[in-house]
Amino acid sequence: MCPMSSDAFFVEVFQRPRRVAFLVDLENAPDHLIDEIVDFNICSWGGRFNPLIPVIEGKIPDSYWRLLEFVDPDLLYAYCDLEADTSSKVVSELGPL
């Protein structure tokens, strides 16, 4: 059995709002969906940092992919179909819940 150390450790914890990203095909999204996403962000702590990411033909444009990497969302809601490659990239590179 390993003896317990008597060394003290300092642990600092910072709470932050959850980061949420919304993937939406803007060409086919109903207006009420966009309204609901905006309402959610208005009512959420830190909601102004939750991006609405356009999806075009099942793909996330490169410029918006960089934004997703920067935001590093905890949760990701997809309101459209994603190509298999895009879906795999989201899971492997972003790892949202």
Q: What mean pLDDT comes out for the span 89-97?
A: 90
pTM of the model: 0.81
For residue 18, CA distances in Å to 38, 50, 96 come to 16, 9, 11
For the segment 25-83, what is each residue's pLDDT rounded down to a tens digit?
Answer: 999 999 999 999 999 999 998 888 899 999 999 999 999 999 999 999 999 999 999 99
Please, which pLDDT band fits residue 1 given cuts at 50, 70 and 90? low
Q: Which of 12, 13, 24, 11 shows the shortest CA–CA distance to 58?
A: 24
